[in-house]
Each structure stands twice: as C-alpha cells, then as structure tokens.
Amino acid sequence: KAGVTQTPRYLIKTRGQQVTLSCSPISGHRSVSWYQQTPGQGLQFLFEYFSETQRNKGNFPGRFSGRQFSNSRSEMNVSTLELGDSALYLCASSLGGSGLNEKLFFGSGTQLSVL
C-alpha cells in the first residue's frame, strides 16, 4: 500500500509569492491534516480536512489555506510568502472516522525555503 505522498519535495520561493503544496493520502483515508515544522516552533497544526470540508483549524493567519478534493487529495496554499514561512510542511492522513485517537500516517514533507 502506498504511503502518504507529498509533492514537491523541495521548493524555493521569494517573499511576496504564493505557493501550493500537494498531498495524496493513503488509499481509503478520508482525513488529511497539515503541520508546519520549524526549528524554533517545532511542529504546529495548521488544519485538517475531511470529506472536502475543513474540520479543524490551528492558529495560523489567513494567508494559509487549504482544500480537499473528492478523491481525498489535498492542497495547501500560502499567499504573500514571508521569510518566516520557511519550514518543512508535513501532511498526515488517517481514516477519518468520528472516533478519537486515530493513527496518523505522515508524508516525508515539502521543504519550503523563502528567500
């Protein structure tokens, strides 16, 4: 069974640009979550999508947005990039049932560098 796939693996952008990252979950998984990982702040939750709807949202500005398609693939977009947005962006998928404590399966991440 293929794991969680994130593309691209690396991205270099300049301040003010926008960027779109993609995540393909494990087949059959309906929930996709996004996390930002930085050396200073560690791993922080961005948002979660389930059945094409945002189900949970972390404490990030509106420049960070996402969506989920009918095949459960998800994209996240960051507009008006800032230097501080440089980070590893991780996507995680899970079955997405209503129960808690689901096991999350993480992708290898997209390393974004903002110059």
Verify binding: residue 42, other proteins, rule CB under 8 A.
yes
- 3 state SS of 64: strand
Q: Which of 56, 71, 77, 80 binds other proteins (CB under 8 A)?
A: 56
- 3 state SS of 21: strand
Verify binding: residue 30, other proteins, rule CB under 8 A.
no
Q: Which of 82, 108, 113, 115 binds other proteins (CB under 8 A)?
A: 108
CB of 15 to other proteins, least distance (A): 27
Q: Are 6 and 109 in contact (CB under 8 A)?
A: yes
Q: Which of 24, 31, 72, 110 binds other proteins (CB under 8 A)?
A: 31
Task: Judge residue 65's burial from the number of C-beta atoms within 10 Å of its C-beta, 0-12 exposed, 13-18 middle, 19 or more buried.
Answer: middle
CB of 91 to other proteins, least distance (A): 9
Q: Are 81 and 114 in contact (CB under 8 A)?
A: yes
Q: Which of residues 78-107 bind other proteins (CB under 8 A)?
A: 90, 92, 94, 99-107
Task: Judge residue 58's burial from the number of C-beta atoms within 10 Å of its C-beta, 0-12 exposed, 13-18 middle, 19 or more buried.
Answer: middle
Interacting residues toward other proteins by CB under 8 A: 3-4, 31, 33, 35, 42-45, 48, 55-56, 58, 90, 92, 94, 99-109
